[in-house]
Amino acid sequence: MPVSHATPPQSAAGPGIEALRGQDPEMAEIIGAESARQASTLQLIAAENFASPAVLAALGSPLVNKYAEGYPGARHHGGCEIVDLAERTAADRARALFGAEHANVQPHSGSSAVLAAYAALLRPGDTVLAMALPAGGHLTHGSPANFSGRWFDFVGYGVDPESGLLDMDQVRALARTHRPKALVCGSISYPRHLDYAAFREIADEVGAHLIADAAHPLGLVAGRVAPSPVPYADLVCGTTHKVLRGPRGGLLLCGAQFAERVDRAVFPFTQGGAQMNSVAAKAVAFGEAARPEFASYARQVVANARALAACLAEEGLTVITGGTDTHLVLADPAPLGIEGRAARTRLAAAGLVVDTCALPHPETRGLRLGTAALTTQGMREPETALIGRLFAAVLRGERDARTAREEIGELTAYFPPYGGSPADGGG
């Protein structure tokens, strides 16, 4: 049973949910049910986390009412003096947190940030070298179903099918052959640190821009437990959710020489008015991430991911790359006699919420897990190991869904995401 000391954040329900209950009980019930789901099951989706009550307060603030096209001091609307302060604060905090000369905090999402990065540096039809989707590239890295694959000529690099590790010789060879306009580094599932200096060297050799899509590791960079792409990449794209634990949204970082191009690429080229409540919530998250407690949190996220990877390997799953440097664990459940998709369904029934993902050997799908959310709940290595053992027992069919849910219920009652009981709609 749980042994770590939980220090979860305060309840996030706030007075807003009461107002909603009176006016729109139907939607209040849906929100309450989702809050209860989040609090009573285990969120092992690597891209998810629990934003703090302070972030939620900023998101639900009257800044949502303000139209603010443009940038602080140069808006297309009146009455922006105060939201200008919010945006300046967010950008200043982002610059300080990541050591960047310029930050654009307006992208509505990670995908919007990538779109703006391409808009700033490329023209339709340009060749771009990025991680192939089956190897862990994001949709915005050349999927034919996405603007990226439709408007640019993407070439994909992969990972070694045996080790699951990036092969920088292959990246260099492809860059020499295809002479891309941009080289993109970043992934949705690569559990190891990237060698940004090596990517920069390859980009320089072929005259390409280097774009780091750091959506996943950005929170670890903020917590000083992962290398920063900022000194190496021309543009860094990121999300403010995930490990960074802010509101759902995007972010762009760059040197002063790209500032104007980036700003114009976000507004007016790819977006309209900034969402000022979200910008304010980003500022709150950057403020939180600058504190020493966040560095401890980031260290614990990685320690928990390592403990989870070690436990899953002991239990017989294949852990891709043999472990992790980050919050991500990639595992193939095939040795336990179950394929990734069936495993996700069985785990979900048991209250363990995970994603499937592509594997270096593409015949089957694997599982992508992350430790950002459970670490926010205050769980440490003992709980993570307990979760790993339960996970394997569910996959082997040794633990039925009801028993597993009971065990998870005990754990989450001790480590609630927002300090309240699951029933109070805690978030």
Identity of the residue, 187 or 412, whose beta carbon is nearer to ligand PLP in the bound complex: 187
CB of 139 to ligand PLP, least distance (A): 7
| Ramachandran region, residue 73 (left: φ > 0; alpha: ψ -120 to 50; beta: rest) | left
The CA distances from residue 321 to 31, 69, 137, 220, 371, in Å, are 38, 45, 16, 19, 17
CB of 379 to ligand PLP, least distance (A): 23
CA atoms within 13 A on the CB side of 386: 17
DSSP letter at 419 equals S
56 is in an annotated binding site: no
Report helix, strand or coil for 67.
coil
CB of 86 to ligand PLP, least distance (A): 21
Identity of the residue, 244 or 390, whose beta carbon is nearer to ligand PLP in the bound complex: 244
DSSP per-residue codes, 174-219: HHHHH--SEEEE--SS--S---HHHHHHHHHHHT-EEEEE-TTTHH
- Report d(CA 408, CA 66) in Å as an integer: 42
Catalytic option among 93, 190, 196, 213 = 213
Catalytic option among 21, 67, 88, 127 = 67
Catalytic, 69? Answer yes
Catalytic option among 69, 92, 167, 424 = 69
Catalytic, 282? Answer no
Tokens of 427: 């978030």
218 is in an annotated binding site: no
Catalytic, 181? Answer no
Tokens of 95: 């610059």
The secondary element (H helix, E strand) that includes residue 292 is helix 292-314
DSSP per-residue codes, 85-133: HHHHHHHHHHHHHHT-SEEE---SSHHHHHHHHHHHH--TT-EEEEE-G
CB of 270 to ligand PLP, least distance (A): 13
- Report d(CA 418, CA 422) in Å as an integer: 9
141 is in an annotated binding site: no
Catalytic, 242? Answer yes
DSSP per-residue codes, 295-351: HHHHHHHHHHHHHHHHHHHHTTPEEGGGS-SSSEEEEE-GGGT--HHHHHHHHHHTT
388 is in an annotated binding site: no
CB of 110 to ligand PLP, least distance (A): 2
CB of 213 to ligand PLP, least distance (A): 5
Identity of the residue, 218 or 307, whose beta carbon is nearer to ligand PLP in the bound complex: 218
Identity of the residue, 68 or 357, whose beta carbon is nearer to ligand PLP in the bound complex: 357
Structural contact between residues 87 and 276, judged by C-beta atoms closer than 8 angstroms? yes
Structural contact between residues 67 and 273, judged by C-beta atoms closer than 8 angstroms? yes
Catalytic, 297? Answer no
Residue of minimal Cβ distance to ligand PLP: 110
Catalytic option among 239, 240, 321, 375 = 239
Identity of the residue, 72 or 186, whose beta carbon is nearer to ligand PLP in the bound complex: 186
Catalytic, 169? Answer no
CB of 380 to ligand PLP, least distance (A): 26
Structural contact between residues 11 and 422, judged by C-beta atoms closer than 8 angstroms? no
Catalytic option among 242, 261, 344, 368 = 242
Catalytic option among 21, 248, 346, 405 = 248
Identity of the residue, 186 or 223, whose beta carbon is nearer to ligand PLP in the bound complex: 186
Tokens of 380: 């440490």
Identity of the residue, 86 or 215, whose beta carbon is nearer to ligand PLP in the bound complex: 215
List residues binding ligand PLP (CB under 6 A).
Answer: 47, 109-111, 114, 138, 140, 186-188, 213, 215-216, 239
Binding-site residues, in ranges, read: 133, 137-139
Binding-site residues for (6S)-5,6,7,8-tetrahydrofolate, in ranges, read: 133, 137-139
Positions marked catalytic: 67, 69, 213, 239, 242, 248
